[in-house]
Chain A
Amino acid sequence: MRQSDSHEVSQLNELKIDVGALIFTAHYFLAGDMVMCEQMPIYGGYAGGLEETTIVDVATTINAFVMTHATWHLDGPVHVRWGITTAREALAVAGHCAMAIEANTNLMLGNQYYTIAGPCTVMCLLETAAQAMTDTASGREVLSGVAASKGVATNYTTGMEARMMAEAARAVAGMETEKVNAILDKLVALYEKDYKTAPKGKPFEECYDTLTLTPSQEYLEVYDKAVEILTGLGLDYWRKM
């Protein structure tokens, strides 16, 4: 690792730490490393509901810069029932926390991505787009992902999900908040009713030619379908190219 890489240290749920994390931090601090302090507050967990979880998220974010000498904080509000960061409630916690911090500080913030659907599915790409829109339009500095299939299935992640994260971010950068919110409300409604039947998708080796590292024709068509839906909702990023 180089000094210019992000050195990770994690807080624990909620407002907790272990001595091991402080030892990591001491090493990073004395080595002059860039530090990324991570924590994923749980909506519906110890803190409680929407407002309580957001208050804890703000406290946790601030603590990253007090306790661990963070260069930036990596958030990841997660829904207790679904284990994802793309649920409406998780997005609202992240969006409100980022705006509260932005309105009062110049801290640098990121967010991490855990979708319920897996690679090579329209649902996964729409979930990713919703979070990228939220994070970009609430002033976050870093988007980090995507751990598709909730980040628990082996080899169920590919570069195509990151492509969507990047393109959806560009599609809303500079857009008025009211317009982003209106699109987000419709977009999240498209997938939030399907959590129980979310498609697991396909593993990397079925999404890409593993020698040439070219995405499959099937995945490209799935991607185009997601783009078509997002364009229909009012994102004109893909029309401009």
Chain B
Amino acid sequence: MAIAKNLTVFDVYERAKTGLKVDENDWDFKIIPQTASRLKEKWGIKMDKKTIIPTDRKLMDNLFQAGLEMLVECGIYCIDTKRVIKYSREEVLAALKTAPKRAIYGEGKQQVVLEPRNHKDKKPPVIQGGPTGAPCSEEMFLAIHQSYAQEPLVDTIVDGVLQTIKGFDPTPGSPWEIAAVKSEAQLVRLAQDRAGRAGMGL
């Protein structure tokens, strides 16, 4: 059935306020494991951990259908409102159909094109180098990130986190958190510039 319009985050928020009330422990320890287990049986899914990448197309399709069904059946639990955000199958499929198929990551000479590749593609993936959220000291933050930016095969940077800011703990929800996050972005840009990679994505 056709949908009136694609979902937006605003629709999602409204559903987070009006969806079914569920206890979080029930969600974690009953709804998620029981639904996943039932869908595994329903779709006859069996994996062998010695085969890390599947070659059986039916297994791939069944995994996709089971995942899609899991999302539609369970929805998403909002931990603040204690309610479940539900979608129709049609809404999910419409979002997948219209999802981005191309993006420009970064600017100028350093920009890279992000577009779908497949498992047999000779084109390598985009390389996003960096500490990936690992803690870095204030003293070493710039040098660590420059060590990634100077690697020629690194296309973009994923930053680490400052362990302190001006010596203070950047506690979440505090003004120091904002100072730390802003400094991280500024220092990554500086690291990219110092490596001769101005315009590189972050």
A166 to B115, CA, bound (A): 17
User: Within the complex, what minimum Cβ distance (angstroms) separates B117 from chain A?
Assistant: 6
A residues within 8 A CB of B178?
none
A66 touches B95 (CB 8 A): yes
A155 touches B137 (CB 8 A): yes
Question: Is A201 in the interface zone, CB < 8 Å from B?
Answer: no
Task: Name 13 A/B residue pairs within 8 A (Cβ), A-sorted.
Answer: A4-B111, A16-B77, A17-B76, A71-B100, A102-B60, A108-B103, A143-B127, A144-B132, A154-B163, A155-B136, A173-B125, A203-B140, A210-B140
A155 touches B53 (CB 8 A): no
A136 to B144, CA, bound (A): 25
A14 to B74, CA, bound (A): 11
A residues within 8 A CB of B120?
174, 176-177
A residues within 8 A CB of B61?
100, 103-104
B residues within 8 A CB of A112?
132, 158
Measured CB to CB, the nearest residue on chain B to A16 is B77
Evaluate whether A154 and B16 lie within 8 angstroms (CB atoms) in the complex, with A47-B32, A173-B124 already known.
Answer: no
A93 to B127, CA, bound (A): 21
B202 touches A143 (CB 8 A): no
Counting from the closest, the 3 A-B pairs by CB-CB distance are: A58-B67, A162-B129, A159-B147
**Interface residues, chain B, CB within 8 Å of chain A?**
7-10, 12-13, 16, 27-29, 32-33, 36-37, 39-40, 45-47, 49-55, 57, 59-61, 63-64, 66-68, 70-71, 74-81, 85, 87, 91-92, 95-96, 99-101, 103-107, 111, 114-137, 140, 143-144, 146-151, 153-154, 156, 158, 160, 163, 185, 201-202
A residues within 8 A CB of B125?
110, 135-136, 140-143, 169, 173
B103 touches A34 (CB 8 A): yes
A154 to B57, CA, bound (A): 43
Cβ-defined partner of B79 (8 Å) among A18, A55, A98: A18
The proximity string for A residues 85-110 relative to B, scoring 1 for CB distances below 8 Å and 0 otherwise, is 00011011001111111111111101
Evaluate whether A213 and B64 lie within 8 angstroms (CB atoms) in the complex, with A16-B79, A46-B29, A63-B71 already known.
Answer: no
A residues within 8 A CB of B117?
139-141
A residues within 8 A CB of B12?
22, 67
A134 to B133, CA, bound (A): 22
B residues within 8 A CB of A58?
63-64, 66-68, 70
B residues within 8 A CB of A205?
140
Evaluate whether A92 and B85 lie within 8 angstroms (CB atoms) in the complex, with A4-B111, A34-B105, A173-B122 already known.
Answer: no
B residues within 8 A CB of A196?
none
Evaluate whether A107 and B99 lie within 8 angstroms (CB atoms) in the complex, with A96-B63, A153-B134, A157-B134 already known.
Answer: yes
A residues within 8 A CB of B124?
136, 166, 169-170, 173
B residues within 8 A CB of A190?
none
A residues within 8 A CB of B99?
65, 70, 105-108
A209 to B47, CA, bound (A): 46
| Central interface residue in B60, B99, B125, by most chain A CB within 10 Å | B125
Evaluate whether A18 and B54 lie within 8 angstroms (CB atoms) in the complex, with A56-B70, A154-B163 already known.
Answer: no
A22 touches B134 (CB 8 A): no
Question: Is A191 in the interface zone, CB < 8 Å from B?
Answer: no
User: Within the complex, what minimum Cβ distance (angstroms) separates A129 from chain B?
Assistant: 13
B147 touches A208 (CB 8 A): yes
B residues within 8 A CB of A110?
125-126, 128
A100 touches B118 (CB 8 A): no
A46 touches B9 (CB 8 A): no
Evaluate whether A59 and B68 lie within 8 angstroms (CB atoms) in the complex, with A134-B53, A143-B128, A170-B124 already known.
Answer: yes
